[in-house]
Amino acid sequence: MELFKDDQNRELKLHGTYGFPVYVDKKMISSYPTGFFPWHWHDEIEFTQIVSGQMEYRVNDSRFLLQAGQGLFCNSGALHFGCMAGGDCEYISITFHPRLLAGFEGSAVGKQYVYPLVESPALASLLLEPEVPWQRDMLAGLAELYRMCREKPVLYELYVQKQLTEIWLGLYGNCAG
């Protein structure tokens, strides 16, 4: 696997489609030829959940050692990098464009609940730990979202949007201003 980016380090890969801007995948950090994914950024929000092993993950100036059961919120536009930390690591990556939650440009939901967090300089990233009840709920929601994306049940897109909204409610409720 290779990550392609432009001269500004913006990732060039599409994360979903314009019609449904969500991308979900399970990966091994060893799938990158170098054992890491290089510094890059994208407009999409990204959640990473560690399935097994551990990964060193950096977002802007913050450094995290993620272990199985933990996760990370990486905000839109945040520069990030991940590498092996003592062996291989299996992880789930969930990326989605903020407009999936915000709706149309200028919407009340976007103005009040989505873009204040997306544009917050204080919230480039957040470690998600299973010991913290509201973060445990978010991690469970991410695992459920991954399951739905694999199985694609009837009404799949609506369920994914609903699940992301519930995850966002937890983030907003505990991190907003």
pLDDT computed for residue 45 by the predictor: 98
Assigned token pair, 119: 């544009």
Evaluate if residue 1 carries a pLDDT over 80: no
Calpha distance 33→133 (Å, rounded): 37
pTM of the predicted model, to two decimals? Answer: 0.95
State whether residue 13 is helix, strand or coil: coil
Evaluate if residue 141 carries a pLDDT over 90: yes
Calpha distance 110→172 (Å, rounded): 12
pLDDT digits (tens, 9 = 90+) for 69-105: 999 999 999 999 999 998 999 999 999 999 999 999 9
Evaluate if residue 140 carries a pLDDT over 90: yes
pLDDT computed for residue 68 by the predictor: 97
Run of H or E residues at 164:
helix 156-175
pLDDT digits (tens, 9 = 90+) for 102-127: 999 999 999 999 999 999 999 999 99
pLDDT computed for residue 14 by the predictor: 85
